[in-house]
Amino acid sequence: MKTWQNFIGGAWVPPVAGKHRDNVNPADTRDVIGRFPLSDATDVNRAVASALRGFQQWRRTPAPARGDVLRRVGDLLVARKEEVADLMTREMGKPLAETRGDVQEGIDTAYYAATEGRRLFGHTVPSELANKWAMSFRRPIGIAGLITPFNFPLAIPTWKAFPALLCGNAVVFKPCRDVPHTATVMVEILLEAGLPPEVIQLVHGAGEVGAAIVQHPDVALVSFTGSTETGSQVGETCGRMHKRLSLEMGGKNAMIVLNDADLELALDGVLWGAFGTTGQRCTATSRLIVQDGVHDEFVAMLARRTATLVLGDGREKGTDVGPLINAESVANVDRYVGIGASECELRLGGAAAKGPGLEHGFFYQPTIFTGVQPQSRLEQEEIFGPVLSVIRVKDAAEAFTVNNDVRYGLSSSVYTSDVNLAFRALNELDTGITYINAPTIGAEAHLPFGGVKLTGNGHREGGWEVYEFYSETKVGYVDFSGRLQRAQIDNY
């Protein structure tokens, strides 16, 4: 069994305390990928000290040259796409078709970031005084602490790291302890592409590592993706220490199917939205809101199709749904199934999956509840598993109200052939993202990603907005009048 290391100070090094954790395949826990570090605050301190040196070098590198490094990262990901997808599926379980998409998001993000190296726009504006120029420009901030989840082991780290690096920051990266191999390969690719070694630090471990990064006084900005509860704790620390912070947290996303919808199209959408990645997406379709006129027909269609989904190892041909990430996730989903059984009707699934090929993995049956009531726990709380709650409504107005009446606001979806209802949905659904005639999942790298309410704190991943988060504005004045001019004194 291979023992892997952190990347700190420009070298691959073991954790100071010498502790490690086995990384296992969630589809077959007998398959141990390797032993990865369980680091602590001492390792974080070493990483930050190195990142401070890396920042001084990297901030002076012209932004277009920083973009050239990320372009080479994209090229390397293209060349290694199948390899990285395979190791990612082995590590976190989702089928190869999905992990190939995960790698493609990293590729798209790399190429998009590369172009932004020539587009870190400021503004040049007229001064109120003669013979004087006024302008603003973007500059890097310092060390970015990046804390990422398990469900997109490559895509989400690239959403954070590539813009941070393009803007000239150094990075201290803490991946989820369930997906350390993908993170290691990403750092290897960054180094192969020519990133100066001290600009990137990789510190493996559990929550202790994330807390040490957030609390370190030399980490100037933090980007966190994870639970709302943990995000609140991160926010309290960053607020007290005056750090810049981006939070991407929970979701309780709804897909609305109205009477005039294309039901076959909507069926494909809800299967992908609810059970893709085994429901382990912050944008997963957790609620299905169906108008009364098509409710019974659509639920019957959904139950028939869901029953045909094939569970198994994501690297095996024909697998539709992979495992959950670990035993704790199985227990959590099972707990919510118990809650649902006391609140509404279990239509399909509702138990850990058994059978040939599933004996040693964390598999759970795709599960559908009907008769779910607004404000019930099953309808309100994020589950992060293959559990779909079906809610019946009388019209579009009620559907929009039910969609909005949760504490999260990440993604929403409406299936309708009425263009007026479609545009009403774009205006009225209280989420950061709304899809028309598409499921609640499917973000694209060149558009901002994020939500409202308890989903986040107002910042966005992706698109042009993320470059504003990872840089700060500086204003410059050049007075070539040769005399003292006093702005904001009465010159009129």
Q: What is the mean pLDDT of residues 107-112?
A: 98
Residues 6 or more apart whose Cβ sits within 8 Å of residue 314 = 27, 89, 93, 94, 95, 96, 98, 99, 322
Given the candidates 3.40.50.620, 3.40.605.10, 3.40.30.10, 3.30.43.10, the CATH classification of the domain at 6-249+456-475 is 3.40.605.10
Residue 125 has pLDDT above 90, yes or no: yes
* Residues identified as active-site: 248, 282
Q: pLDDT tens across 209-268, in order?
A: 999 999 999 999 999 999 999 999 999 999 999 999 999 999 999 999 999 999 999 999
Whether 6-249+456-475 and 253-436 share one fold: the answer is no
Q: Are 364 and 332 in contact (CB under 8 A)?
A: no
* pTM summary value: 0.97
Using an 8 Å Cβ cutoff, are 107 and 81 in contact? yes
CA torsion, points 309, 313, 315, 318, in degrees to nearest 10?
Answer: -30
Q: What's the CA gap between 340 and 333, in Å, rounded?
A: 10
> Is the Cα torsion angle 297, 302, 307, 308 positive or negative in sign?
positive
Please count the CA atoms within 13 angstroms of the CA of 355 that sit on its side-chain side. Answer: 10
Question: 448 and 426 in contact (C-beta within 8 Å)?
Answer: no
Rounded to the nearest 10 degrees, the angle between the axes of helix 155-166 and helix 180-192 is 30
User: Given this model, what pLDDT does residue 467 score?
Assistant: 98
pLDDT tens for residues 388-435?
999 999 999 999 999 999 999 999 999 999 999 999 999 999 999 999
Question: pLDDT band at residue 155, thresholds of 50, 70 and 90?
Answer: very high
pLDDT at 492: 73
Cα gap 323→313, rounded to integer Å: 7
Q: Is the dihedral of CA 358, 359, 362, 364 positive or negative?
A: positive
Q: Which residue from 225, 221, 223 is spatially nearest to 244, judged by alpha carbons?
A: 221
Is pLDDT above 90 for 490? no
- Domain boundaries of the chain, sorted by first residue: 6-249+456-475, 253-436
Would the CA dihedral through 248, 251, 254, 255 be positive or negative?
A: positive
What mean pLDDT is reported for the chain? 97
C-alpha of 423 from chain center: 27
User: What is the pLDDT at residue 90?
Assistant: 98
Tokens of 24: 């296992």
Which CATH class name applies to 253-436? alpha beta
Using an 8 Å Cβ cutoff, are 227 and 250 in contact? yes
DSSP H helices in 119-262: 155-166, 180-192, 207-215, 228-241
Q: Is residue 101 pLDDT above 90, yes or no?
A: yes
pLDDT of residue 491: 72
